[in-house]
Structure 1
């Protein structure tokens, strides 16, 4: 069965493959179990039915830029980190792998050499792990199978990495799920249930300002002060029994007594005094504000047919 480059076979894979989680295949890095980066992904090879068969890996400086094929069953995709993990991959295995380029004929002999190097890795994978479907998700199977007949046919004229000799390759990939089967975990990944929560965000906002100043008001005021006034008292008495004066007494208009009279006069002046002092400061108070709103939550809905055993 001929193999085709995913980018040619299914150009819109970024938007739909793995339910849109895969993104751009070129952004994926290849890591071993020890978090050692061993290369980058260049493409995926798929068969006529659209099933994934190999990841095309550019080893970069790890093996001097050598391109090799990685069976899809040995690749664990981490969509969140854009990584592909290959547990147990060694440098010597990659060095002994046949090189892959755009003109490579991927026939059964070539694939036997590839599988021979990966055999130690494949032995640790149980057949019971696999679903028998080599798509990233079940939805991908429907999308691949829905391709029109022109895109289903082998792309002998415009797909690199294939040739007329490859058309005679009748190898049954499904007989070795160790190499070509995707596990239950790889196919579906975790089912995430989401819920809404109220999260309070506190912001310090200006609610107003207080201006403290002075203004002058006028009002009537009065003050009391005791004063002293002098007055002249004139007392007159009748005189009797006094001898008479002589006939020659001269009557005159003259001042008999002179007396100065005083009294206090009060005047007022205005003087400024400090009446009170005003200090202006701020105090902080703590109080609890309670907010209420409607939130949504996803609950798991399990629908079964027949009598399957389900561990919840």
Structure 2
């Protein structure tokens, strides 16, 4: 190949004539035996095609999108001219694009169109469609039902995957907010367990603990006795700026007050006791009784705990 390519004219008509003259030098017996000759010949073929298109008023590929150029490239692959394919590859590369992935079909391909133009029925029976079906209107588009069904199934599957992905993104975003709250506020996470009466089993809980300059310096701002760290953090994230020593449950306290629910101290004499979520427990030593309902846990607690421990 020559060290310096010949400059083409800026005029489309002149450029076309120039490219035709260049192509005439190898139209009879082009020599593709060496890489250098093959590249030079193919370049001239590409330039001739570009000049011909420019002379016909086609331009603007520099402003085309990656999707449009990639679509036209695939269309010309089907047409079978490698020179056109090479020119579209050049356009993509010159614009800094790679070949975009093909978009999913949004409509069902039409495989045929009803057209009665020029048709004259031999008799009235010809107007009747086979199997007593009604005659289709002129211009009706026919589609492949099996292909349409496959496309609908693919769309449904993609939509299902998208819904799951969206939910996963939402869950991860919530977990990120929880981690940011833990790290940004320097909260502690404390796990504790307590025996379930005399069953030999244990129940666990989790607490979120924050620190303040004034007393009490440590305050439980989130808790969950079903061992859900997320639930405990969520409660801590909604706590007041200066919360009490432990979370308060006014509605539950009001209900206990109306029913005259008075809890005896635990077996070790601690008075910081309470009930919640089917459990009766001591906040100090973690002594716990679990029942089907909170009221049953309360009744079992008072039945097994002395009113005045020694």
TM-score norm. by structure 1 comes to 0.21
Highest RCO, 1 vs 2 (Cα 8 Å, sep ≥ 6)? 1
TM-score norm. by structure 2 comes to 0.21
Q: Which has the larger radius of gyration?
A: 1
